[in-house]
Chain A
Amino acid sequence: AQRVTQPEKLLSVFKGAPVELKCNYSYSGSPELFWYVQYSRQRLQLLLRHISRESIKGFTADLNKGETSFHLKKPFAQEEDSAMYYCALTSQAGTALIFGKGTTLSVSS
């Protein structure tokens, strides 16, 4: 079964602290994995994808096939990072994204 698990509903950190949003997945084969973000009163948007190996807004995510994880990390959180973050993977059929339940990141000063 294809599944994405985000174990934390809420993660609260102080500005400048490191952030790690956890994502674990279940998938047969090589998954395409993504992080989406939804800022307050904005629409859901792509943050980054594992295949690009890029850093966006200081965030990175490494695919660990052994641990079936794709955790999102940032060394120093900013208040503007406060948002809802969703981990997602492409379905086996390639037509859909399967989302986790999301984690709310709250960064306070």
Chain B
Amino acid sequence: ETGVTQSPTHLIKTRGQQVTLRCSSQSGHNTVSWYQQALGQGPQFIFQYYREEENGRGNFPPRFSGLQFPNYSSELNVNALELDDSALYLCASSHRGGANTGELFFGEGSRLTVL
């Protein structure tokens, strides 16, 4: 069974740039959620994708967008990067309803630094 993989593991961008983060979900999972974890904070929900459509969104501006592909992998795109976007971005895959059962399987994250 392949776990959740994320790429890249680390990246540095400058303010105003755009970034794309990628996530391959665990085998058998059809739902992908993205979380932002700032330093010293718990993960904060960005959005969830199910069947290639956004299925829930947290309190993040529209410059945070995503995609889910037919193979259930996903991308997180952030436009017009700001300094406060510096964080660890976590991808979690699950079956639909995973948030109700707590059965979210997390990747190791992509650490984004915005200068």
Contact = CB atoms under 8 A, between A and B. Distances in A.
A95 B101 contact: no
Given A44-B43, A44-B90, A101-B41, A96 B58 contact: yes
A74 interface: no
B108 A96 contact: no
A97 B104 contact: yes
B42 A101 contact: yes
A86 B55 contact: no
Given A32-B100, A49-B101, A97 B45 contact: yes
A91 B42 CA distance: 15
A69 to B, nearest CB: 17
23 contacts: A4-B42, A9-B40, A32-B101, A32-B102, A36-B102, A43-B3, A43-B106, A45-B106, A46-B102, A46-B103, A49-B101, A49-B102, A86-B42, A88-B102, A90-B99, A90-B102, A91-B45, A95-B56, A100-B42, A101-B41, A101-B42, A102-B41, A102-B42
7 nearest CB pairs, A to B: A95-B56, A99-B42, A96-B45, A34-B102, A44-B106, A49-B102, A95-B48
Interface of A: 4, 9, 32, 34, 36, 43-46, 49, 86, 88, 90-91, 93-102
Interface of B: 3-4, 33, 35, 40-45, 48, 55-56, 58, 90, 97, 99-109
